[in-house]
């Protein structure tokens, strides 16, 4: 079983807390030279995508620092947040279906995360 980092857990929780849809985590370490994990999530509108980005950024600030880069924030149909080993992709629904990263990275292992309610 793949070890889930604190960064992944924090990003997952932040996206989940803000009602992101279809959150998927992929372990791409065996098939990528530039990252170990992808977190992919969907927002229901451009504003929701921006809210998800803000939530993830705030959650990771004390754990991973600021992202090395954030791409696509102005358009907010696909925002990529680069934290080095963790790449966060937050899409609107149409753009996520069009690019279908899960199919593109189908050789990657999907990581299951369960959050306990406390």
- CB-CB neighbours of 77 under 10 Å: 16
Which CATH code for domain 6-111? 3.30.460.10
**Are 16 and 23 a contacting pair, CB within 8 Å?**
yes
Q: pLDDT tens digit string along 58-100?
A: 999 999 999 999 999 999 899 999 999 999 999 999 999 999 9
- Residue 6 confidence (pLDDT) above 60: yes
**Are 42 and 92 a contacting pair, CB within 8 Å?**
yes
Q: Which residues contact 81 (CB under 8 A, 6 or more apart)?
A: 53, 56, 57, 67, 69, 70, 87, 88, 89, 90
Mean pLDDT to the nearest integer, 104-108: 93
Residue 70's φ and ψ, nearest 5 degrees, are: -130, 125
Domains in the chain: boundaries: 6-111
Global model pTM greater than 0.85: yes
**Are 98 and 13 a contacting pair, CB within 8 Å?**
no
Q: What is the distance between the alpha carbons of residues 107 and 18, in angstroms, rounded to a whole number?
A: 29
Q: What is the distance between the alpha carbons of residues 57 and 6, in angstroms, rounded to a whole number?
A: 14
Mean pLDDT of the chain: 92
């Amino acid at each position: 079983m793949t070890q889930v980092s604190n960064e992944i857990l924090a990003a997952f929780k932040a996206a989940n807390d803000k009602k992101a849809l279809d959150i998927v985590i992929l372990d791409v370490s065996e098939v990528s030279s530039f990252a170990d994990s992808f977190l992919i999530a969907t927002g229901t509108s451009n504003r929701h995508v921006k809210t998800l980005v803000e939530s993830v950024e705030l959650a990771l600030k004390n754990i991973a620092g600021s992202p090395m880069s954030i791409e696509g924030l102005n358009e907010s149909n696909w925002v990529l947040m680069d934290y080095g080993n963790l790449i966060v992709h937050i899409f609107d629904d149409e753009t996520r279906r069009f690019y279908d990263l899960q199919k593109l990275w189908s050789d990657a292992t999907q990581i299951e995360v369960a959050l306990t309610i406390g």
